[in-house]
Amino acid sequence: MGVENLLRQGSCLWRGGEFYPDSDPGIATGFSSLDRHLAGCGWPRRAIIEILSDRPGGAMALLMP
């Protein structure tokens, strides 16, 4: 059985880059403009986020208190 068939059958497969509709609401980042761009409207509760930046160190401000 191919991957496309499994996806159509509603199996537990999920294709990266697609929003998983049953996921929990996200945790607010404190930046409403960023929340609007994240699936679940915030940091995911059960996933990993990779932050890529053109400049070194800038993304760390999102994670530091």
pLDDT tens track for 19-52: 655 567 889 988 899 888 887 888 888 777 787 7
Query: Could you give the C-alpha distances from 2 to 10, 18, 24, in angstroms and in order?
Result: 13, 19, 28
Neighbours of 45 (CB within 10 A): 11
> Does residue 57 form part of some domain?
no
Residue 14 has pLDDT above 80, yes or no: no
Domain that includes residue 34, residue range: 19-49
**34 Cβ contact partners less than 8 Å away, ≥ 6 residues apart:** 62
| pTM of this prediction exceeds 0.75 | no
Q: Of the segments 2-6, 37-41, 60-64, which one has the largest average pLDDT value? A: 37-41
Under a CB-based contact definition with an 8 Å cutoff, are residues 26 and 39 in contact? yes
Q: Based on the structure, what is the number of domains in the chain?
A: 1
> Does residue 8 form part of some domain?
no
> Does residue 4 form part of some domain?
no
